[in-house]
Chains A and B, each alone.
Chain A
Amino acid sequence: MSEFEPKIITILCNWCTYGAADLAGVSRFQYPPNIRVIRVPCSGRVSPKMILSAFHNGADGIWISGCHPGDCHYITGNYYARRKFMLLKNFLEYNGIEQGRIHFSWISSAEGVKFAEVARDVVESVRKLGPAKYFIKKELDDNDLCSCLNKSNPDNNLAKNILEEQAA
């Protein structure tokens, strides 16, 4: 059996950690390819909606990274973000999400080494937890449609019609 490869949604601030990712690449520091980067203007832009949405769409882990406190391009964005993240992390864990699914870091654009290092740690910690178990949305398949419309009932033409239409 091949080893589980986690998918990790990584939300990086444009001014620091995105730069760090670039630097890590240019400097050829090795880090695992499990991360999918989303660039945001500031870590303060990150909303809990995005985190849950990532889980809905099949992320196994999430990593959010921005500028060190005091270095925010918008002066105070990451100070506000820090309070929000603390509540978010604790609230996710209160809801039953395992510790280690969601990670936060401050990485400046000069810290390519730290970027590669944290990326490795994040991937390893999520790999250990295995595939995400919670907040996964199940796609509706034909079986669900049938049970919704009660296809087993021979008089129910609606279900048949819909399925036939889909097939055509």
Chain B
Amino acid sequence: MTMNINQSDINKKQIDIINQQYTEKIREAAKRILLEKKADVVIGFKNGTEPMKTEPCLITKASDVDKLIWNEHCRLNLANYVKGRKDKVAVVAKGCDSRNLVNHIIEKQIKRENLYIIGVPCNGMVDKFVNVKESKVGVESETMQKNLDVFLIDRDMLQDNCKTCISRNPVIFDEMIAEPVKERVWTKEEKLKERFESVNKIEAMAESDRWSFFNDMLSSCTRCYACRNACSLCYCPTCFVDESRPQWVGKGVDPVDVRTYHFLRAFHCAGRCTDCGACEAACPMNIKVRLFTKKLDKECFESFGWEAGMSLDERPPLDVYKVNDSENFIR
């Protein structure tokens, strides 16, 4: 396999140094931005209540900037906390976050001039469950931290979506906190084969197998809506799951309702999803919800050559049309 980026070369020590540098730079930038009043609030990550977890964090006072951190567990998408804000917002943004910020600007959720983007070149995020595997359940948190000494950002440890990232560096930014990292150069064939590998596998199944595959996959879903809440694309004033006249989808964990919820949630993200992986990172049951959004990503890429959030000048595929769009499925 030809990989231009070899993640396994980067060992834990290097990652530690990078994290420290990034953290310092982010704090420095946040302080400056707040003091110079370039923004009213800085949105970044702080340490979570558990080791190897981070939380989003809103800083309004320059004295609080030391809360901000950066490491390989900043899995959530901070663009989620920007939408609809009327004040001036500074956001710490890795590649995928910046693509979602582009989405927000295109969809008029925030004005570009109200946004100050602190760009972070991303070395990939570690899959949340890799940590659990590495450490023993029930061990005290200090020991868990120590276990991390053997930790490398290995390809096997990365989140699925990071393995095939197309934009590790922010697409738009006002300042970068470090030199951009090397981007992999993709051909269209490589993208279709590698980025959509999981989708291709399912497409190769028989129809009835596909139905039962997804049913099995979703059998543990508790409808907690963590995937929806973590998603930066979700901002309807009333979500379809809360609509009651008519009620499109039942409230419980009836398998059909769960299927309907995931079907419609994914469809809402069609042509908008940047594959940031926040939904899967947020899922407490480790359901691979990206298998749904990814299929629509693939369709948009194949049919419209579209990848969401890469440019401020292009409208999303369902917002435009071509007179000669394919219609061989219509009589």
A: residues with CB less than 8 A from B are 48-49, 52-53, 56, 69-70, 76, 79-80, 82-91, 93-99, 103-106, 118, 121, 133-138
The 16 listed contacts between A and B (C-beta, < 8 Å) are A48-B267, A52-B248, A79-B321, A79-B323, A79-B325, A82-B327, A82-B330, A86-B326, A91-B266, A91-B270, A91-B299, A95-B263, A96-B211, A96-B213, A97-B207, A134-B211
Q: Which residue of A lies closest to B329 (CB)?
A: A89
Size of interface on B: residues with Cβ below 8 Å to A? 45
Contacts A96-B208, A99-B207 known; 6 new A-B pairs at CB < 8 A: A82-B321, A87-B300, A93-B207, A104-B330, A106-B327, A137-B254
| CB < 8 Å neighbour of B321 from A76, A89, A93 | A76
Which 10 pairs, one residue from A and one from B, show the smallest C-beta to C-beta distance?
A: A96-B211, A79-B321, A96-B210, A105-B331, A104-B330, A49-B248, A94-B295, A48-B267, A137-B256, A52-B260
B303 touches A (CB below 8 Å)? yes
Q: Is the CB of A56 within 8 A of B256?
A: yes
| Residues in chain B near residue A96, CB distance under 8 A | 207-214
Q: With both chains docked as a complex, state the minimum distance between the C-beta of B69 and any C-beta of chain A, in angstroms.
A: 39
| CB < 8 Å neighbour of B323 from A69, A91, A95, A136 | A69
| Residues in chain A near residue B331, CB distance under 8 A | 103-106, 118, 121
> How long is the Cα–Cα vector from A52 to B265 in the complex, in angstroms?
13
Q: With both chains docked as a complex, state the minimum distance between the C-beta of A74 and any C-beta of chain B, in angstroms.
A: 13
Q: Is the CB of B214 within 8 A of A83?
A: no
| CB < 8 Å neighbour of B264 from A52, A70, A97, A121 | A52
| Residues in chain B near residue A91, CB distance under 8 A | 263, 266-267, 270, 295-296, 299
B: residues with CB less than 8 A from A are 199, 202-203, 207-214, 240, 246, 248-250, 254, 256-257, 259-260, 263-264, 266-267, 270-271, 295-296, 299-300, 303-304, 317-319, 321-323, 325-327, 329-331
> How long is the Cα–Cα vector from A90 to B270 in the complex, in angstroms?
12
Most chain B CB within 10 A, of A94, A97, A133, A137, is at A94
| Residues in chain A near residue B212, CB distance under 8 A | 96
Q: Is the CB of B318 within 8 A of A83?
A: yes
| Residues in chain B near residue A118, CB distance under 8 A | 331
> How long is the Cα–Cα vector from A104 to B326 in the complex, in angstroms?
13
A104-B329 CB under 8 A given contacts A52-B260, A136-B256: yes
| Residues in chain B near residue A133, CB distance under 8 A | 211
Q: Which residue of B lies closest to A65 (CB)?
A: B331
> How long is the Cα–Cα vector from A82 to B202 in the complex, in angstroms?
25
Most chain B CB within 10 A, of A84, A103, A133, is at A84
Q: With both chains docked as a complex, state the minimum distance between the C-beta of A162 and any C-beta of chain B, in angstroms.
A: 17
| Residues in chain B near residue A93, CB distance under 8 A | 207
Q: Is the CB of B326 within 8 A of A135?
A: no
| Residues in chain A near residue B322, CB distance under 8 A | 79
| Residues in chain A near residue B270, CB distance under 8 A | 87, 91
